[in-house]
Structure formats: C-alpha cells, structure tokens
Amino acid sequence: MKKQTSKKLIYHVENYLNALPSKPTHTPSRDYQQLKKELTYESKRNQHGSDDIKTPKTPRPLSKVSVTSPLYVGQECSACHQQVHGSVVSVPGNGVWHSHCFTCKACHRQLENESYFEKDGDIYCSVDYRRLFTLYCDTCGEPIERQVIRALGKYYHQDHFICCVCKQPFGDQQFMVLDDQPYCQQDYLKKCGKKCSGCGEYLQGEYINALNQEWHKSCFHCTVS
C-alpha cells in the first residue's frame, strides 16, 4: 500500500478594493477658508484609513493664490523643486505647485483649470489616466472602476470571475485550475476526480491505493466484522 496525494491547483481570489476612482478630482479652490476645509477633510481621510469618505462631488474652480500668504512662503514646488513664486496651486497631501508646473505627467498639458487624477504623487489628465491605468474585465471587456479580482494573470469584475462549467461566481471561495480554466470544486471533481471504492464519494486530500483501487483512509478496513 502507498499513500498518494490528489494533485490539484487551488488558488485564492485576491481582492483589490477601489482599483480606480470613479471620478476625477477637481482642481480645488485656493482661498484660505476653502483650503482649511480641504486640509481638515484630508486629515479625517488619513485617520480612518479608508476610502469610505468621498471627495466632494461639486467641481470647484481654481483660484490662484499669491505667495505672499504665510502658508506658502519658502515652500518648494512639488514639480520643479524651486521656491514658489507668483500664483500657485495647492493640492492637499501633495504640496504646492507653480501654476505652469501643474501639468499632466503623460501629455504635459496644464491642468490648473481642469479635472485631474493623482497616482503615486503624479498628476494626470482624465484621458491619460484612464488610458494608462484602467483595468478591463477579461469576461465582459468593460473597464473596472470599483472592486477588482485578479486571478490567473487576468482581471475581472467581482461577479464576472466564474466557474467555466456552471458559470457561478466564486466569491471568496477557493477555485481549481485545469488547462488554464477556473473550476469550482464540485465541477472539478466531476471532471477529473477519483471516487472511493468503499463509499463512492470523491476523494480529496490523502487517500490509499490498494488492490488497484483508491480508498478513503477511513473506508479501507477489514470487511469481516
């Protein structure tokens, strides 16, 4: 007799929350009272460690600020690292920028009066951000803007990562792989599982090979009572 281990590949679904923000950030107003509100909002967001606090939905026009304000004197531009002068743009959590330095990293277009996205401290226009960083679901081909599942080197909407046989979503359940296709446990066993010669149920984990048959360890016993 010898023990064998049924060979199967089991993967865990990796969930990535908020892969992309659903809306771009708008260049904020720069008057002093508005800036205080934004800094308060940023502080609350960091304390919670969550994206549940939403950014304001109403677009706010840019108001340029003079560096004579004590808030900005002596500060460096986040882009060119020179002392700010003239009119500047202040982005909560991302320093201050010369107005002419506040540009899309990809196309270099000035964004002081436009919507923008931030990623890793860099600024992007809406078009380039979506072009460079949008993930697309391998099942439906549509962009993924909220919760994303990464598996088998591909990306899926949460409800679109499904068993290739029964078409049911895996959710947070384990799945198995055969020929690069994902299977739920039940359909995987139906396709290539072995049954115990004693009880007729599918074998999982360790089993015993004896008398040219496979058995659960608990099912392989003397038949004489």
Closest by alpha carbon to 188, among 213, 168, 214, 171? 168
pLDDT of 61 over the 60 cut = no
pLDDT of 6 over the 70 cut = no
CATH 2.10.110.10 region(s) of the chain?
7-16+135-191, 60-133
Task: Show the tokens assigned to 209.
Answer: 């090979």
**73-107 residue pLDDT tens:** 788 988 899 988 877 887 777 788 888 888 899 99
Q: Is residue 193 a contact partner of residue 212, using CB atoms and an 8 Å limit?
A: no
pTM attached to this predicted model: 0.45
Residues 7, 160: Cα–Cα separation, whole Å: 27
pLDDT at 39: 36
Question: What is each CA distance from 206 to 11, 175, 203, 220, in whole angstroms?
Answer: 19, 19, 8, 13
Query: Sign of dihedral through CA atoms 105, 106, 107, 113?
Result: negative
Closest by alpha carbon to 8, among 153, 197, 187? 187
Task: Show the tokens assigned to 215.
Answer: 């058995």
* 60-133 CATH choice from 1.10.390.10, 3.40.50.170, 2.10.110.10, 3.40.50.11810: 2.10.110.10
The per-residue pLDDT of the chain, averaged, comes to: 69
**160-193 residue pLDDT tens:** 999 999 999 987 788 888 888 899 888 888 877 7
pLDDT of 133 over the 80 cut = yes
Please name the CATH architecture into which domain 7-16+135-191 falls.
Answer: Ribbon (2.10)
Report the pLDDT averaged over residues 50-72: 41
